[in-house]
């Protein structure tokens, strides 16, 4: 969509990190849902895909459906969306289960809800329609929403680029780790790697940290890490989700 006078893209309002996830009611392949209210108490990944019966989307759905239990173990539910209708969704998911064998995955049943959004109402609310990329198809958007219904991470991919679902899992676990242990996670962090402790809030603490007290390792006074082993991280996350 272009403002013809200025030749500038028209910026629609889009939800941002830290915002309450916009509410909607929708028809899905698993019945009607009320979002995000129905998901209170769970993490949820709301994601859009451009179209049913397309190859990149098919590879994504097979992968995500195969990983659904792994996400469930960290209290994270999945909800998909495209601007196709319900019968197209049903036919596509049946085809995936009955006919497609891909990278060792076969008989894959997509059990998470797939929203029909022919009116694009939800896609527009979430900034999933990005006309510079396509005015008729949603881009590959990912919203990670916490148990209070707050948007905690947003990732967008163009139509041609299939998502990395290990990365989406890493994002959910890293956010949960940050919440549970009041830490941050460094580049390429995975459970079991060192985490970053909050910066020293006083000269005294900065000095202590540099003297190597506690179990904290400092690269400089403002950049300190500590170990949390993988069992402890995953145990705390799974306990918090119960
Ligand atoms: C795909 O999923 O393969 C796809 C969808 C829309 C545009 C390009 C590719």
pLDDT along the chain (242 residues), means of 10: 59 89 98 98 98 98 98 98 98 98 98 98 97 97 98 98 98 98 98 96 90 87 95 91 80
- Specify if 79 maps to a domain: yes
Contact 55 CB / ligand 1 (< 6 Å): yes
Residues across the chain: 242
Query: For residue 185, how far is the Cα from the chain centroid?
Result: 17
**235 and 200 housed in the same domain:** yes
Q: For residue 192, what pLDDT is reported?
A: 97
**147 and 184 housed in the same domain:** no
Ligand 1 centroid–CA 76 distance in Å is 26
Contact 210 CB / ligand 1 (< 6 Å): no
- Specify if 169 maps to a domain: no
Residue 144 makes CB contacts below 8 A (sequence gap 6+) with: 43, 44, 45, 151, 152, 153, 154, 168, 171, 172, 175
**131 and 101 housed in the same domain:** yes
Active-site residue identified among 57, 76, 218, 224: 57
How many Cβ atoms from other residues are within 10 Å of residue 228's Cβ? 19
* Domain boundary residue, one of 163, 196, 212: 163
Strands 2-3 and 8-9: antiparallel
**In which domain, by residue range, is 189 found?**
177-240
Probe target for ligand 1 pocket from 92, 123, 129, 159, with the most ligand atoms within 8 Å of CB: 159
Which atom, in ligand 1's list, is nearest to the CA of 55?
3
CATH number at 204 reads 3.30.1020.10
* Domain boundary residue, one of 163, 187, 202: 163
Q: For residue 4, what pLDDT is reported?
A: 55
Contact 57 CB / ligand 1 (< 6 Å): yes
Ligand 1 centroid–CA 173 distance in Å is 28
Contact 140 CB / ligand 1 (< 6 Å): no
* Domain boundary residue, one of 136, 163, 190: 163
- CB-neighbour burial class of residue 51 (10 A; exposed 0-12, middle 13-18, buried 19+): middle
**119 and 224 housed in the same domain:** no
**138 and 198 housed in the same domain:** no
CA distance 80 to 64: 10
- Specify if 170 maps to a domain: no
> If you ran DSSP here, which 8-state letter would residue 7 be given?
T
**104 and 53 housed in the same domain:** yes
Q: For residue 173, what pLDDT is reported?
A: 98
Q: For residue 13, what pLDDT is reported?
A: 79
Contact 50 CB / ligand 1 (< 6 Å): yes
**183 and 86 housed in the same domain:** no
Tell me how many degrees the CA angle 118-69-234 measures, rounded to the nearest 5. Answer: 125
**149 and 204 housed in the same domain:** no
Tokens representing residue 11 in the block: 């910026």
Stated pTM of the model:
0.94
In 150-164, which positions are buried (b, 16+ CB within 10 angstroms) versus exposed (e)? ebbbbbbbebeeebe
> Is 203 noted as a catalytic residue in this protein?
no
Tokens representing residue 87 in the block: 């019968």
> If you ran DSSP here, which 8-state letter would residue 232 be given?
H
For 30-79, the DSSP string reads TEEEEETGGGTTSEEEEEE-S-SS-HHHHHHHHHHHHTHHHHHHTTEEEE
Residue 213 makes CB contacts below 8 A (sequence gap 6+) with: none
Q: For residue 189, what pLDDT is reported?
A: 98
Ligand 1 centroid–CA 51 distance in Å is 7
Contact 159 CB / ligand 1 (< 6 Å): yes
Provide the number of structural domains found in the chain. 2
> If you ran DSSP here, which 8-state letter would residue 19 be given?
S
- SS3 helix, strand, coil % of the chain, rounded to 5? 30, 25, 45
Q: For residue 95, what pLDDT is reported?
A: 98
- Specify if 168 maps to a domain: no
């Amino acid at each position: 969509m272009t403002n013809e006078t200025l030749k500038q893209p028209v910026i629609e309002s889009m939800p941002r990190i830290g915002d309450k996830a916009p509410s909607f009611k929708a028809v899905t392949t698993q019945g009607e849902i009320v979002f995000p209210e129905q998901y209170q108490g769970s993490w949820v990944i709301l994601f859009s895909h451009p179209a049913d019966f397309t190859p990149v989307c098919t590879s994504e759905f097979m992968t995500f459906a195969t990983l659904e239990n792994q996400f469930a173990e960290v209290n994270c539910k999945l909800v998909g969306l495209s601007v196709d209708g319900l019968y197209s969704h049903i036919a596509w998911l049946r085809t995936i289960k009955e006919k497609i064998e891909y990278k060792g995955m076969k008989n894959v049943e997509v059990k998470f809800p797939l929203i029909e959004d022919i009116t694009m109402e939800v896609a527009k609310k979430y900034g999933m329609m990005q006309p510079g990329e396509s005015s008729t198809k949603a881009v590959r958007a990912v919203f990670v929403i916490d148990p209070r219904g707050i948007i905690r991470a947003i990732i967008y991919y163009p139509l041609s680029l299939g998502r990395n679902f290990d990365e989406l899992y890493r994002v959910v676990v890293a956010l949960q780790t940050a919440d549970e242990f009041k830490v941050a996670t460094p580049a390429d962090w995975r459970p079991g790697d060192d985490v970053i402790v909050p910066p020293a809030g006083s000269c005294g603490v900065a000095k202590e940290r540099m003297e190597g007290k506690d179990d904290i390792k400092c690269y400089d006074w403002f950049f300190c890490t500590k170990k949390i082993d993988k069992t402890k991280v995953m145990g705390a996350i799974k306990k918090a989700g119960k």
